[in-house]
Amino acid sequence: MEEDNNKQDNKTNRKEFLQKTLLAGGVLAAGAAGLNNLTSCNKDSGEKVKVLTADGKLVEVDSNHLNKSHACCAAPTSEARFGVPGKKYVMVIDLSRCKHALKCQDACQRYHHLSGMNVWLKVFKMHDAENTAPYWLPKPCMHCDKPPCVKVCPVNATYKRDDGIVLVDNERCIGCRFCMAACPYSTRSFNWEKPEFISETEGATYSPETGFPQKKGTVEKCDFCPDMLRQGKLPHCVTACPNGVFYMGNLNEDSVSNGAETVRFSQLIKDKGGYRLNEILGTEPSVYYLPPVNRLFPFIDPETGKEKMEEEN
Amino acid sequence: MKYNLSFLAIKTLLQRIIFISLCISAFIFFYNDAIAQGVKDSTSKLSFTINLSSLVSNGTRTVNVKAGRKENKKTIPVHNLKSPVNLYLNEVKEHDAVNGTGWISKLYLNNEGEGIFEFPSDFNKLTADLHAFTFIVKIVSDPVYENAEEEINIADAKINIEYAGADSVKTATATLLIWKENNYVPLPQAELKLCIKRTFNFLPFGEPGATTDSAGKITGELPLDIPGNANGTLTIAARLEDDETYGTAEVTKDVPWAVLPKVNPERGRTLWSPGDNAPLLLVISSVTIIVIIWGAIFYLVYLLFKIKRLGKAP
Amino acid sequence: MQEIKIEIKEKDAIKMLHQYNEDLLPGKFGRIGKAWTAFLFIVFLTGVYCYINQLKNGLIITGMRDFVFWGIYISNFVFFVAISLVGSLITAILYLLKVPWRAPLTRLSEIIAVAAIIFAGLIIIVDMGRPDRMLNMVLHGRIQSPIIWDVMVVFTYMTLSILLLYFPLLPGIAFCRDHLKGIPKWQQWMYRFLSLGWKNSPEQYKIVKKAITILSVMIIPVALCIHTVTSWLFASTYRPGWDSTNFGAYFVSGAFLVGSGGVVAGMYILRRFNPSYEEYLTNNHFDRMGKLLVLLAMVYAYFSINEYLIPAYKMKGEEAHHLNELFTGYYAPMFWSVQFFGMILPIIVLMFKKGRRPLPMFIMAVLVIVCAWFKRYLIVIPSMSFLPVQEIPEAWKHYSPTLQEWAITGGSLAGALLIITFFVRYFPIISVWEVADERGVSHDIIYKHLHESNEI
């Protein structure tokens, strides 16, 4: 009997609930319509939406709690100079897993709306000596801790943030290209002409955290997708890679993740013998590499379509 | 003779190929738009996919919608879907204002085709007595993706997490409870994961691949040297991930066990600092040089004025 | 030749002064002079037109791309900075050393310096992707950047050079003001304005001499700075061929050589088109300059050997690639001809007394200048083509300047020559009072009679 009562209660409760939900939903819809043009998330937008509670009271909820859109998470120029507090971003690239699928590059080009010949993330075929084994080397910006490019910038357009990221402010850059000369990893590219834009992104506000819209006569480069990092999301190359080559993490909390697995940074570097490129230059990059040992895929040269070993035999 | 024949054969073949390709290109040229339109409509309707998932984190429920379409075997996020998607709760698929239905929100998807609906706190209270959820997402008014829909059923699961230990051994124990016959009962053999919340993801600890025991419990040993936040606390979590019946459920707890994290070094006066933070020696020496040289230049300009004054004097 | 100042009788001295004044008064150009000016104008305006086009379309109109991102604008900039160093050499160093044959050459070298440094400043703006944001260098300048050092030092050197040109020119302007007849109003006004009311008083001369001494001392370190800092734009990077500690000295020595070449070429052209200058720019001057050129070319050869031989001995990875391209590869023909015609041949020819006659001197000077231009090209461009050449379009791998880029660069060279040409047209290119001073006319006579001409 008591159980029945309970059920009855539940039923009425549920019916009541659904009716009230409807009311709430109706208001939500009105609120949600205005949510498309949010300028920043994780912060209160100031836009309130009325929601009806169970006891019949109307409460106000900030509209940002209802629909989180993250295409808009890049900080404005002044804020983008400091970085996310407490973080020290670090990337680990596992060379033993790369098979030159170029999904990282595709995603990078698409999400940064890169037009023309500007490619931020390149994947090089490394085969320096006759008797060494070839392998693929994905090369983003190294985000050096002692960045030679930042040293030489005359106008502070490219800068080092506290969270380790090196960014370019395309609204300040004078286009002298000294940073391109100084970068020993050649990661920077220049907008030689007025970039072509995809119509859907027209009218977007500029932020150094997305580098978009690009500006004619300025330098740009891989930025570690700080708009994504700001939301605690992984950069696009990391999520796009089908083989989990890229790990991204916060050095201060000793952990990196490639989306599928999350491991301790120190352990990973220790177990697999991680290293950095051109340590001899003293630039202290934020990108670590794991050597191409016990590889997941054979090295196939896209030009010959053959595996290296086959070719020789 | 043979050579001639084969030559003729090749010639006619070439002529045919050219003719056919010309026809095809003409066709494509004139019907390009029509074909493209047709192809686009049919394929995108067919291959449109919506991924719906539910997450309950510390009692707050979130529904994630991810829309994409298949093109050349790749799932491409739907960019800027102009029309919103409708989210319903509990088996009602139409938005019917008169009869009172379970339409809960309208979502605009972002550039990556993602939309998130997090239950507002009051909404959470309202659903506190619901232990089974059916979420339906549907696109109504879009011309291309009309009537695409997806539905998931989620049963209620609850997780508790506790921690115990001294200096040398620190453990955390989580219990997984599910709603069964008006009661929360433990769920054995479930892959409940113990992990530490990190910036991007959850770092697992304890025995890999362990499952819950008959009491629905799982215990793991925390690493002793893991950095937490500046207060020395660490957020640990127990997670049931992407379960068919329960969706994703998680609970987090702060424990005061962490090693203090490395702190980013102070912004010093370095060669790669902004101009106002240049090394002092550099600033002092360059200012000194500039002052001396330009002081002399101003003196020379003063001499020019002196010459002019002498020129005016009788 | 006049190592010892000879006492000249007052009457002779006055006569000498009058003769100088008559010989050295600037005058109208002949037909060749006019054609030359028109030609320079056309080249300059073509450059301006192409630059406007570049402003509209961006640097895409150049041959530069991400791979080779600095081109002939930068090498031309280095060339201009180099040639402008001659101002400090002839005017300041030889002045302080009291070299007794320098006086007729000072103004020529100083106007070359001024013209070159002005266009060095302009060509670097041409190279900028966003010249509209130039003010950012003041608003957001970083003292850590070698570009800021370069901007400051170029501006300082320009100011000093203009002052060093201007102070000794004052009596000359005043003379033009008072003695040039039948000139248009604007020209009269210009002389009046620029002469600062000069009236040849001993007090004014005293100030001018003091200013010249201060400037001569000051301009030497600044001149060394300007080219050293320019070399640091390259040497502060990690690129092979640029990553060198020898670069400052190497650049400065090369700069003195090309600057002296410029003065010799200027001397010859002046003499060729105005025979009355032969009295002042004598064969003896060519002989002296020839010896100086040999010395400078040898110093330059010394630093060149340092620059190439030691890296070539080690043949370190990237460095080896770079040097092979220069010695035997793509750039080898240019590299060896530049070394031979721009350095070795002038040394050999100018060693002989016959080689130091005006015409061979002129040919050698032109060779030195042209080779110096291409030498800068070889310093700037090949260093950018050592990287792993992957993932870039075929067309980017080798840089070749576009027609418009050549036009803009040519326009800048024509512009600098225009400044010199106009100066020769409107101002005395040889300083009368300094020549008189050098030739032993006493100060009192100069003060008293410099301002007279034969007609009076």
pLDDT at A89: 95
Cβ of C204 within 8 Å of Cβ of B275? The answer is no
Tell me the Cα Rg of chain C: 23
Nearest Cα residue to C84 out of C193, C164, C190: C164
Residue C89 has pLDDT above 50, yes or no: yes
**Chains A & C: contacts with CB separation below 8 Å:** 124
Which has more pLDDT, C437 or A54? C437
| Winning range, highest mean pLDDT, from A26-35, A122-131, A266-275 | A266-275
Q: Among C414, C60, C89, C383, which residue's Cα sits nearest to residue C258? A: C89
* B34 vs B42: CA distance, rounded Å: 12
With H, G, I as helix, E, B as strand and everything else as coil, classify residue A86.
Answer: coil
Q: Which long-range contacts (CB under 8 A, 24 or more apart) does B65-68 make?
A: B65/B107, B65/B109, B65/B114, B65/B115, B65/B116, B65/B117, B65/B137, B66/B112, B66/B113, B66/B114, B66/B115, B67/B109, B67/B113, B67/B114, B67/B115, B67/B139, B67/B145, B67/B148, B68/B113
Please tell me the distance from the alpha carbon of residue C381 to that of residue B188, in angstroms, as a whole number.
70
Q: What is the pLDDT of residues A250-300, one digit of tens each?
A: 999 999 999 889 999 999 999 999 999 999 999 999 999 999 999 999 888
Mean pLDDT rounded to a whole number for chain C = 89
pLDDT at C186 over 80: yes
What CA–CA distances, in Å, run from C101 to A58, A115, B123, C26?
Answer: 99, 62, 97, 22
Interface mutation target, options B273, B286, B300, chain C, most CBs of C under 10 Å? B300
pLDDT at residue A33 tops 50: no
Q: What single string gives the DSSP state of each residue in C402-448?
A: -HHHHHHHHHHHHHHHHHHHHHHHHS-SS-HHHHHHHTT--HHHHHH
Helix/strand/coil for A221: coil
Per residue in A68-112, pLDDT (tens digit) is: 344 457 888 888 898 888 899 999 999 999 999 999 999 998 888
C29/A46: higher pLDDT:
C29
Instruction: Kindly state the percentage of chain A with pLDDT values over 70.
Output: 72
Query: Nearest CA to C222 among C273, C172, C266, C157?
Result: C157
What would the two tokens of residue A250 be? 């916060």
C391 pLDDT above the threshold of 80? no
Exposed/middle/buried for residue B169 (C-beta within 10 Å: 0-12, 13-18, 19+)? exposed
Predicted local confidence at residue A50, as pLDDT: 44
What distance in Å separates the CA atoms of residue C185 and residue B135, rounded to the nearest whole number? 91
Radius of gyration of chain B (CA): 35
Along the 314 residues of chain B, how does pLDDT read in single tens digits? 445 555 556 667 667 777 776 666 655 555 544 444 444 444 444 456 777 788 888 888 888 888 877 766 667 777 667 677 777 777 655 554 444 456 677 777 777 778 888 887 777 777 777 788 888 888 776 777 767 788 888 888 889 999 888 778 889 999 999 888 888 899 989 889 999 999 899 999 988 888 899 999 999 998 888 898 888 889 999 999 888 888 888 899 998 888 888 888 888 899 999 989 999 999 999 999 999 999 999 999 999 999 999 888 76
How far apart are the C-alpha atoms of A74 and C55, rounded to whole Å?
A: 30
pLDDT at A39 over 50: no
pLDDT at A11: 45
Residue among A202, A252, A270 with most chain B CBs within 10 A, to mutate: A252
Asked if residues C272 and C390 have their Cβ atoms less than 8 Å apart, the reply is: no
**Which chain A residues are within 8 Å of B115, Cβ to Cβ?**
67, 69
All chains having 3 or more CB pairs closer than 8 angstroms to chain A? B, C
Q: Of C416, C125, C376, which is closest to residue C255 (Cα–Cα)?
A: C376
- CA separation for the pair C409, C84 (Å, rounded): 17
pLDDT at C257 over 90: yes
Averaged pLDDT for residues C345-364: 93
Q: pLDDT tens digits for B199-223?
A: 899 999 988 888 899 999 999 998 8
**Residue C261 has what pLDDT?**
94
Q: Which residues of A touch B200 (CB under 8 A)?
A: 232-234, 248-250, 257, 262
Q: Closest CB to B100: pick one of A19, A69, A156.
A: A19
C233/A153 CB distance under 8 A: no
Average pLDDT over residues C395-418: 92
B139 pairs with which residues across the strands? B85
Angle at which helices C202-235 and C72-84 pack, to 10 degrees?
150
Residue B279, exposed/middle/buried by CB under 10 A (0-12, 13-18, 19+)?
middle
Specify whether the CB–CB gap between B205 and B257 falls below 8 A. no
* Residues B287, B292, B295, B300, Cα dihedral to 10°: -140
Contacts of C85 (CB under 8 A, 6+ apart): C113, C223, C226, C227, C252, C255, C256, C259
Q: Which of A33, A52, A68 sits opposite B116 (nearest CB)?
A: A68
Q: What sign for the dihedral angle of Cα C38, C39, C41, C42?
A: positive
Q: Do B282 and C159 touch (CB under 8 A)?
A: no
Which residues in A lie closer than 8 A to residue C142 (C-beta atoms)?
153-156
ipTM of the complex: 0.89
A232: nearest CA in chain B? Answer: B200
**H or E stretch at C367:** helix C358-380
Write out chain A residues lying below 8 Å of B80, CB-based: 200
Q: Closest partner residue to A35 among B108, B274, B275, by Cβ?
A: B108
Give C-chain residues touching A218 at CB under 8 angstroms. 129-130
In this structure, what DSSP letter does residue A206 have? P
Under a CB-based contact definition with an 8 Å cutoff, are residues A191 and A118 in contact?
yes
Answer whether A174 sits within 8 Å of C136, measured CB to CB: yes
Does C406 score more than 90 pLDDT?
Answer: yes
A217 and C69 in contact by Cβ < 8 A? no
Comparing C-alpha atoms, which of C321, C254, C338, C332 is closest to residue C84?
Answer: C254
The whole-model pTM stands at 0.85
The CA radius of gyration of chain A, in Å to the nearest whole number, is 25
Of C149, C196, C214, the CB nearest to B307: C196
CB contact under 8 A, B293 and C222: yes
* Contact residues on chain A for B92, CB-CB shorter than 8 A: 18
Q: Taking a contact as any Cβ pair under 8 Å apart, which residues of chain B between 19 and 48 contact chain A?
A: none
Report CA-CA distances (Å) from A158 to A89, A166, C235.
18, 7, 20
| Per-residue confidence (pLDDT) for residue C112, from 0 to 100 | 94
| C-alpha to C-alpha distance for C197 and C203, rounded to whole angstroms | 13
The minimum CA-CA distance between A292 and chain B, rounded to whole Å, is 25
Residue B265: count of CB within 10 angstroms of its CB: 10
Cα separations (Å) of C405 from A51, B145, C134, C253, C385? 65, 52, 21, 28, 19
Q: Rounded distance, CA A64 to CA A34, Å?
A: 11
- The residue-averaged pLDDT of C53-73 equals 92
Question: Does the beta-carbon distance from B306 to C163 stay under 8 Å?
Answer: no
Q: Do B303 and C170 touch (CB under 8 A)?
A: no
The count of residues in chain C is 456
Q: Which residue has the higher pLDDT, A2 or C412?
A: C412
Cβ contacts of C294 within 8 Å, gap of 6 or more: C346, C347, C350, C351
pLDDT digits (tens, 9 = 90+) for C102-143: 888 999 999 999 999 999 999 999 999 999 999 999 999 999
Tokens standing for B150?
């997806």
Q: How many whole angstroms separate alpha carbon C19 and alpha carbon A106? A: 80
B62: β partners: B55, B118
What pLDDT was estimated at residue B16?
Answer: 74
Q: Taking a C-beta distance cutoff of 8 angstroms, is the pair C83, C252 a contact?
A: no
Beta strands of C314-355 (E only): which ranges?
none
Q: How many angstroms separate the first and last alpha carbons of chain B?
A: 114
pLDDT above 80 for C359? yes
Does residue A95 contact residue A109 with C-beta atoms inside 8 Å? no
Per-residue pLDDT for A8 more than 50?
no
Is residue A2 very low, low, confident or very high in pLDDT (cuts 50, 70, 90)? very low
Phi, psi of C343, rounded to the nearest 5 degrees: -140, -55
**Rounded Cα gap, residues A94 and A236, in angstroms:** 16
- pLDDT the model gives residue B11: 67
Q: How far apart are CA C65 and CA A192, in angstroms?
A: 7
Distance in angstroms (rounded) separating the CA atoms of residues B135 and B87: 7
pLDDT attached to residue B27: 55
Contact between B311 and C141 using a beta-carbon 8 Å cutoff: no
Closest CA to B145 of B74, B40, B241: B40
DSSP-assigned letters across all residues of chain B: -HHHHHHHHHHHHHHHHHHHHHHHHHHHHHHHHHHHHHHHHHHHHHHEEEEEEEEEETTEEEEEEEEEEEETTEEEE----SSPEEEEESS--S--TTT---EEEEE---TTSEEEEEPPHHHHHHTTT--EEEEEEEE-S-TTTTT-EEEEEEE-EEEEEEEEE-SS-EEEEEEEEEEETTEEEE-TT--EEEEEE-SSSEEE-SSTT----TTSEEEEEPPTT-B--TTS-EEEEEEEEEETTTEEEEEEEEES-PBPPP-PPP--S-TTS-GGG--HHHHHHHHHHHHHHHHHHHHHHHHHHHHHHHHH--
Token pair, residue C360, equals: 């061979």
pLDDT of residue B62: 86
User: Exposed/middle/buried for A40, CB within 10 Å: 0-12, 13-18, 19+?
Assistant: middle
- Enumerate chain A positions whose Cβ falls within 8 A of a Cβ in C: 117-119, 122-125, 148, 151-157, 172-178, 180-182, 184, 186, 188-194, 215-219, 281
